[in-house]
Amino acid sequence: MLRKITSTLFSIAILGASGSLLASGQADYEKALASAKAEQKAAQAVGGEWRDTDKLLQQADAAAKEGNFGVATTLATKAEFQSKMGQQQAKSQENAGNPGYLY
């Protein structure tokens, strides 16, 4: 009897912990997504949005809908990185001009 009660209490504790981990994972994803979308907008503003950034955000959204918040957060973080790099690239090539052989 005591073993069954202990087992039940353990199961309840595990389920409670996994629920809070899920909420934490979702909160982390939502934070990463908001940051990625802000950086994407900034990249668009300077003409430096990379090709796959939107695809990554769509994949992140799909993973989040399936409850895979770890994967979703990773994808959103990659999208944020691409947006930051796109901004840097656009700024570094702002006044680059065309190569001399085109003139």
33-75 pLDDT, tens digit each? 999 999 999 999 999 999 999 999 999 999 999 999 999 999 9
Distance CA 83, CA 86 (A): 5
28 within 8 A of 71, measured Cβ to Cβ: no
For residue 77, pLDDT beyond 90: yes
Give CA separation, 99 vs 48, 75, 94, 103, in Å: 20, 36, 14, 8
Question: Quick one: pLDDT at residue 21?
Answer: 47
User: Quick one: DSSP state of residue 75?
Assistant: H
- Residues 33-55, buried b or exposed e (16+ Cβ, 10 A)? bebbbebbebbeeeebbbeebee
Containing domain of residue 52, as a range? 22-92
82 within 8 A of 50, measured Cβ to Cβ: yes
Give CA separation, 4 vs 1, 18, 60, 93, in Å: 5, 21, 41, 68
Rounded mean pLDDT of the chain?
Answer: 85
- The more confident residue out of 96 and 51 is 51
Q: Where residue 103 falls among pLDDT bands split at 50, 70, 90? A: confident
Number of domains in the chain: 1
77 within 8 A of 32, measured Cβ to Cβ: yes
Q: What is the percentage of the chain residues whose pLDDT exceeds 90?
A: 66
